[in-house]
Amino acid sequence: MLDAAPETDIQREARRAMEICNACRYCESYCPVFPAMFARRDFPAPDLAHLANLCHNCKGCWHACQYAPPHEFGLNLPATLAKVRTQSYADYAFPKAAGRLFQHNGLFVSMAIAVSLAAVLIASMLLIDSDTMTETHRGEGAFYAVIPHNTMVWLGGISFGWAIIAMIAGVSGYWRATAGGRPGWAAVRAAIADAATTRHLGSRGGGCNDLDAGFSHARRHAHLATMWGFLLCFAATCLGTVLDYALGWQAPYSWYSAPVVTGTIGGVALMGGTAGLFAIKLRTDPEPEARELWGMDTGLLALLFFTAATGLALLFWRHTSAMAWLLAVHLGFVLALFVTLPYGKMVHGLYRMAALIRFHAEQDR
């Protein structure tokens, strides 16, 4: 599909970069991008997308590059691959228009959706029964006194269901265009192991160039906290669902219940991780960064941070009269996160998994 189209400016720059790197090879031990690149001599668009999604943006190659500016070749591999990568999210997004919207306005769009959803929830509660917004609700089912159980299930179910469908459609389109075929189990296992430990953010244990030419593990640790924090929060939601439907216990749950403990740990990790990633983004050397992607990168960080923060706030003040407001705001962020999931930075997880599976499949060959 893509190879038939004429080369875009970004693709041309990426191909030029590959041709320089492929004749140099000094960076071969930094990450999988290089062995995958060296196995090729031509770089059509789908292969560029694959290599770009293998890149974990550690910036080791930038600081080591003898062809980076002021050299006349002006090579900037991390920024170039970041642009190709983001373009691939937009190219395979379902539907496409939504992907393009997020490509450049991610932060604004995410926040706008979250705030409007919260506002709609608050407004409907006020219209239906303004007393619920000032009363204190306690005991089993307290949340559902504010927003009916069914409404919450439908809102969450539809937005999350949509997210899953759109993401599967996106990543399958990407997989078909860049690789196709059924990957072997060994490749999938190896890719999962890479992702679970974010191994390639560690650059062989020596760390990445998070801020400058010095090596650090800060970004890797912040990313691990974000990823596992998110997964714990998700697990907490699943546990709540099980308790509700299988055992008939309705939220809110006690401090020491499984969903609350899991969610609290996850929420704290998620806040710490996203705050850390944001701090690194603010302080890092801007040259190897693609600044036009700032919105998309920070959009997801902001959504995750506020989802966790409003969730924890709801937990702390659920027995006060602020609960209804906090619930509405928290749900606004959760729903915004779900709705934007297939179009924002979150898809990098899926595309990277696909790229890692393909990388391991090629290595095994």
Binding region for another protein (CB under 8 A): 19-20, 22-30, 41, 60-61, 63-67, 69-72, 204, 206, 213-215
In angstroms, what is the minimal distance from the CB of 19 to another protein? 6
Looking at the Cβ atoms of 63 and 348, the one nearer to another protein is 63
In angstroms, what is the minimal distance from the CB of 18 to another protein? 10
Looking at the Cβ atoms of 65 and 166, the one nearer to another protein is 65
CA 85, 225, 166, 356 torsion-angle sign: positive
Looking at the Cβ atoms of 95 and 206, the one nearer to another protein is 206
Looking at the Cβ atoms of 34 and 89, the one nearer to another protein is 34
| Cβ contact 84:11 at 8 Å | yes
| Cβ contact 124:103 at 8 Å | no
- The CA–CA distances, whole Å, from 262 to 138, 218, 257 equal 22, 24, 9
Token couple for 80 = 């170039």
In angstroms, what is the minimal distance from the CB of 81 to another protein? 16
Looking at the Cβ atoms of 17 and 121, the one nearer to another protein is 17
Question: Using CA atoms, how far apart are residues 254 and 257, in angstroms rounded to an integer?
Answer: 5
Question: Using CA atoms, how far apart are residues 241 and 245, in angstroms rounded to an integer?
Answer: 6
Which one-letter DSSP state was computed for residue 208? B
In angstroms, what is the minimal distance from the CB of 365 to another protein? 17
323-340 and 96-128 helices, crossing angle to 10°: 160
In angstroms, what is the minimal distance from the CB of 27 to another protein? 6
